[in-house]
Structure 1
Amino acid sequence: MTKIKVCGLTRMEDIQAVNEAMPDYCGFVINVEKSRRNCSPLLVKEMVCRLDKRILPVGVFVNAPLRLPTLLLREGTIAIAQLHGQEDEAYARELQKASHCPVIKAFSVKTSQDVEKALKSPADYILLDQGAGGTGKTFDWSLVPEIKRPFFLAGGLGTENLEEAIARLKPWAVDLSSSLETDGRKDPEKIKAAVAMVRKMEKDN
C-alpha cells in the first residue's frame, strides 16, 4: 500500500487542496530561506490548524538548530521531521529521543554507495532523492536495490512516471512537489490527479 506525500505547501489554498485530495502526508519547508517554498514556523502552525487530522504534517528542515524541530514536534505542529541537510546520525538519534516522534532522513543518490549509506541510517524512514529538493529531476533508479525498510521515493515524480516508479521500486511512500505546481504554485487538480493515481494502484494491487 504505497502512501503519498505532497510537499512544499505554502498557502491556505494549498491546505484546502490537500484536504480535498487526502494524501497521507503533506510537507512544509521550515526556515529554509533559500527555498521559494520556505515557511515560518508561525505560518506552518496556522496552516496545520486547518489541515484534515487524517493527513500527517511533516516539517522539512535543512541543518536547523535541533531545538526547532524538537519544539515543533513536541507541541504537535508537525508529526514527523524530515532532515534534508547534512544532519548526522547523532542529530537524528537526539531528535528521536527528545521528541519521541518519527524522523525521515533524506539522501542524495548519485551512486550505489549513497544508497548503502542511507540504509544504515538510524532514522525511522529514509528518503531517496536526486539531490537538491524540488528540482523536478529523477535520479538513476537502477542504483536502488530491493529495500526491506520503509523508504520515501522523491525526485522528479509526477503522474507521467508514478506508476513505473511504484512498480519498479516498491517504495513505502512517494514524495511529490514541483510536478504538482503550475506557475510556481500548488495546483489542486494536479494534486488530486496524483493522489488518485496512487490510490488506484493500491486497489489494483
Structure 2
Amino acid sequence: MTALAHELVGAAAHLAALGLSPGSSGNVSAREGDRVLITPTGTDLAALDPRNLSVLGLDGTHLDGPAPSKEYPLHLAFYRRERATRAVVHLHSRHAAAASCHAPWSERSALPPLTPYFVMRVGQIPLLPYAPPGDPAQAAELERLGFPCRAALLQNHGPVVAGTSLRAATEAAVEVEEASALHLLLGDRPVRHLTTAEATALATKYGTYWEPAH
C-alpha cells in the first residue's frame, strides 16, 4: 500500500494548502481491497508521514499503525454503502461548516443545485443531525440512509465526502466548500437553481446522484 500512502499524503497536503483543514482538523482515508489507510488521530494534514498512517479493516479492526482518527466510523460507513468508494475526505472547511448550521435545502440535499459542477462532482448532500464528533451512531445513520449519496453535511460540524478515487474525493470536497460559499453569499436573494431535469441529466452523465426534492 506504499503508493497509496504517498497518494493519500499528497491529497491531504493539497487540502491543507487550500486552507480547508485548519489546525489538526480533518481526516482522509483510502481503501485498497479490504484494508483502509486513514490519517491518525490529532494529525495535521499538511505534515503527514506515509510510513505512519493507521490501517483498518472494513469492520473497524485496527490492523497497524497509530490510533486512527476518531471519525473513522464515518469513513467505513461510506465504504460499506458503495463498493466503488475508494476514498473519503472529512473537513471542517469554513463555508461548509457554516452551511451545516443552516436548515437543509431539502430532505435529500443540504445545498441546492446552484451550479453544474456541484452536481457533477458531488450530487445530493444530505444534512445529518448533530452528533458529537466520532459518534458511531451518526455513522450508522449515514450507512442506513435510504437513498444514494456520496457526501453528507454533519450538522454544526462540516462535510464528509466519498469518491471513486482520492482525486475524485478531494475535488468533491473542494466543490462542497465552493458551493457552500456561494449558497451563503446569495443568502435570501431570489436565485435560479438548476431544474430537477437539468440536475438529473448531469448526475446521470457524470455518475453522481440527484433526485427530486422531497
TM tier relative to shorter chain: 0.3 to 0.5
Q: Which structure dedicates a bigger proportion of its chain to strand? A: 1
Q: TM-score, normalised by structure 2?
A: 0.32
Q: TM-score, normalised by structure 1?
A: 0.33
